[in-house]
Amino acid sequence: MEDEFNNEDLSTLVSCLNTLIKRGYTEDYKVTEQGLKSIQSRKIYSPEELSEVNFYRFEGNSDPADNSILFAIETKDGSRGTLVDAFGPYADSKVASFMQQVKVVNKKT
């Protein structure tokens, strides 16, 4: 994902999601007790099967409850998708704990 977003609007969660979808990040993931589950394929991945390519944080203008984080994820079997969570005090501790175990590659801040 080197410079592919230079001309894209990444200022909102929706625009960033749309950009990632255009770039092939089409799976939607959620963290379950068993691992990271693809909503589309229903396949479940362990942290060892994943790479976190990048993340994007979004802050609400007036309400801290509007803070969110978007992870761009690639799997060892070639699937690419996204995981969205709240950020800050409303974050899901299961998501944070799981993502701390995932290998980070190419992250840009």
Model confidence over 21-46: pLDDT tens digits?
999 999 999 999 999 999 999 999 99
Is residue 23 a part of any domain in this protein? yes
Is residue 28 a part of any domain in this protein? yes
Cα(10)–Cα(26) distance, rounded to whole angstroms?
Answer: 17
DSSP code of residue 68: E
DSSP code of residue 16: H
The confidence band for 90, taking pLDDT boundaries of 50, 70 and 90, is confident
Give yes or no for residue 3 having a pLDDT over 50. Answer: no
Amino acid at 65: A
User: What percent of the chain stands above pLDDT 90?
Assistant: 69
Q: pTM of the entire structure?
A: 0.85
Is residue 5 a part of any domain in this protein? no
Inter-residue long-range contacts of 6-12, CB under 8 Å, 24+ positions, other chains counted:
10/56, 12/58
Is residue 7 a part of any domain in this protein? no
| Polymer length of the chain | 109
Q: Which CATH number belongs to the domain containing residue 79 in this structure?
A: 2.30.29
The confidence band for 12, taking pLDDT boundaries of 50, 70 and 90, is confident
pLDDT at position 76 is 96
Output the CA–CA distances (angstroms, integers) from residue 13 to 25, 66, 80, in the order listed.
14, 11, 17
Q: How many CB atoms lie within 10 A of CB 28?
A: 15
Boundaries of domain holding 91: 13-104
| Structural domains counted in the chain | 1
